[in-house]
């Protein structure tokens, strides 16, 4: 069995622009982890992984993976070990079911907004909120935000986005402006359209989606970031809870 450091590789579970991720098991503890290793042996890619490890080291939230280890690998690459998160990413859920019921979409988005509020309160802009980076856990009504490779830690006016995913990026990121919390909220709005079974590229909702939900979502995807909600003015988790009560007659689903 292939090993990386103290970890036995079970299978590869993903590959991005600069890193691969694996399901792995600690050789001594026999505990599963998610292992992320940079693909190219370059100082630039090593620094990207180091930045991500350093950022994750300080975070603790139920809708985030927890940091376990960071180490050099013998071939010159580096690896991060994180808690293994059970569940499927949102894009795979939609591939199978085509759409998620609006009430279920609301609780998924509440978990996403909850963790975004936590990140933004700690000065972190994720910068790559998209279906592939959200793991849905329906049995425990949780959603976990993953992949901090493009995140910005306390960005300022001179900060440039490391990168973005075209289909879910806010206009200001595409224009080369610094990442801001409202950039993540824009991405979350497009993710919401996607979860509902709509078209995030054309910003088109399915006809069955209640107007209060489409109005809420449309407020997030304004091209001008100053017109979007922000945490100082709006409790997005609470706002969705109010919408759920109004539309479905309850704030919580079973």
How far is the first Cα of the chain from the last one, in angstroms, to the nearest whole number? Answer: 42
Whether the pLDDT of residue 1 is over 80: the answer is no
pLDDT in tens, 35-77: 999 999 999 999 999 999 999 999 999 999 999 999 999 899 9
Domain segments of the chain: what residues? 3-83, 88-248
Per-residue pLDDT band for 254 (boundaries 50, 70, 90) equals: low
Q: Using only C-alpha atoms, what is the Rg of the chain?
A: 18
What is the reported pLDDT for 253?
77
pLDDT tens by residue, 222-245:
999 999 999 999 999 999 999 999
The edge-to-edge listing of strands for the beta sheet with 67-72 is 3-4, 7-15, 19-26, 32-38, 78-83, 67-72
**111, 143 Cβ separation under 8 angstroms:** yes
Distance separating alpha carbons of residues 37 and 21, to the nearest angstrom: 6
Classified by CATH at the fold level, domain 3-83 comes out as: Phosphorylase Kinase; domain 1 (3.30.200)
Closest C-alpha among 155, 148, 153, 147 to residue 176? 155
Q: How far apart are CA 244 and CA 144, in angstroms?
A: 21
Question: Half-sphere exposure of residue 140, counting CA atoms within 13 Å on the CB side?
Answer: 11
Above 90 in pLDDT, residue 205? yes
Q: Say which DSSP state 118 is in.
A: H
The structure tokens 């399915």 sit at 206
Asked whether the beta carbons of 154 and 121 are under 8 A apart, the reply is no
> pLDDT by residue (tens digit) across 126-144?
999 999 999 999 999 999 9
Neighbours of 61 (CB within 10 A): 15
State mean pLDDT over 156-183: 94
Rounded to 10 degrees, the C-alpha dihedral 182/196/205/174 comes to 30
Give pTM, 2 decimals. 0.95
Superfamily of domain 88-248: Transferase(Phosphotransferase) domain 1 (1.10.510.10)
Q: Which two tokens stand for residue 74?
A: 């013998």
* Mean pLDDT score, 178-197: 98
The C-alpha atoms of residue 228 and residue 230 are separated, in whole angstroms, by: 6
- Confidence band of 252 (pLDDT split at 50, 70, 90): confident
């Amino acid at each position: 069995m292939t090993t990386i450091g103290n970890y036995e590789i079970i299978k590869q579970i993903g590959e991005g622009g600069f890193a691969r991720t694996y399901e792995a098991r600690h050789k001594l503890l026999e505990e599963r982890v998610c292992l992320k290793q940079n693909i190219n042996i370059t100082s630039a890619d090593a620094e990207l992984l180091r930045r991500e490890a350093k950022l994750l080291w300080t975070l603790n939230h139920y809708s985030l993976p927890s940091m376990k280890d960071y180490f050099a690998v013998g071939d010159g690459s580096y690896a991060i070990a994180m808690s293994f998160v059970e569940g499927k990413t949102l894009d795979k859920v939609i591939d199978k079911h085509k759409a998620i019921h609006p009430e279920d979409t609301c609780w998924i988005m509440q978990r996403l907004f909850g963790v975004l509020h936590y990140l933004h309160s700690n000065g972190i802009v994720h910068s790559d909120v998209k279906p592939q980076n959200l793991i849905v856990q329906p049995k425990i009504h949780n959603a976990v935000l993953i992949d901090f490779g493009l995140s910005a830690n306390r960005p300022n006016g001179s900060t440039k986005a490391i990168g973005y995913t075209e289909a879910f990026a806010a206009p200001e990121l595409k224009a080369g402006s610094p990442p801001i919390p409202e950039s993540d909220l824009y991405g979350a709005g497009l993710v919401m359209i996607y979860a509902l079974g709509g078209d995030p590229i054309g910003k088109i909702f399915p006809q069955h989606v209640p107007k209060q939900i489409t109005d809420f979502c449309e407020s997030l995807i304004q091209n001008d970031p100053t017109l979007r909600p922000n945490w100082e003015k709006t409790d997005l988790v609470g706002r969705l809870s109010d919408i759920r009560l109004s539309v479905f007659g309850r704030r919580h689903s079973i």
